[in-house]
């Protein structure tokens, strides 16, 4: 059997009358999954630091203030977040 013959693996796994040992089934599932989905593995995205989160939120608040939404309130909160982020260094 060819290494890339996924059809044989999938038929063997889905056959209602076929009997396989647990070890053989696990090995076949692993080979099939690797062949079908092996190139889809991605590294998990890097989580932003707390400082980056605070600065991003401050920028969002300043953007809202620039559009005229709760100008004083949003600018005051943005300044507080920026000070908090600066103290984290």
Q: How far is 10 from 12, CA to CA, in rounded Å?
A: 5
Distances (CA, A) of 32 to 6, 37, 66: 6, 8, 54
At residue 52 the predicted structure's pLDDT band, cuts being 50, 70 and 90, is very high
Tell me: pLDDT of 56 over 60: yes
The label of the residue with tokens 């000070």 reads 83
Tell whether pTM > 0.85.
no
Is residue 62 within 8 A of residue 78, CB to CB? The reply is yes
Burial of 35 (0-12, 13-18, 19+ CB in 10 A): middle
Percent of the chain with pLDDT over 90: 46
Q: How far is 9 from 25, CA to CA, in rounded Å?
A: 10
Sketch the domain layout of the chain as residue ranges: 6-40, 50-87
At residue 51 the predicted structure's pLDDT band, cuts being 50, 70 and 90, is very high
Q: Is the sign of the CA dihedral 81, 86, 50, 68 positive or negative?
A: positive
Q: Could you read off the pLDDT of 2-23 as tens digits, one per residue?
A: 556 777 777 767 776 667 788 8
Task: Please give the average per-residue pLDDT across 31-36, as a whole number.
Answer: 81
């Amino acid at each position: 059997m060819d290494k890339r013959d996924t059809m044989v693996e999938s038929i063997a796994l889905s056959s209602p009358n076929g009997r396989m040992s647990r070890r053989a089934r696990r090995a076949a599932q692993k080979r099939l999954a690797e062949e079908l989905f092996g190139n889809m593995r991605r590294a998990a995205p890097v989580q932003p630091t707390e400082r980056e989160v605070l600065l991003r939120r401050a920028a969002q608040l300043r953007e809202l203030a620039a559009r005229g939404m709760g100008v004083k309130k949003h600018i005051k909160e943005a300044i507080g977040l920026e000070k908090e982020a600066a103290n984290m260094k």
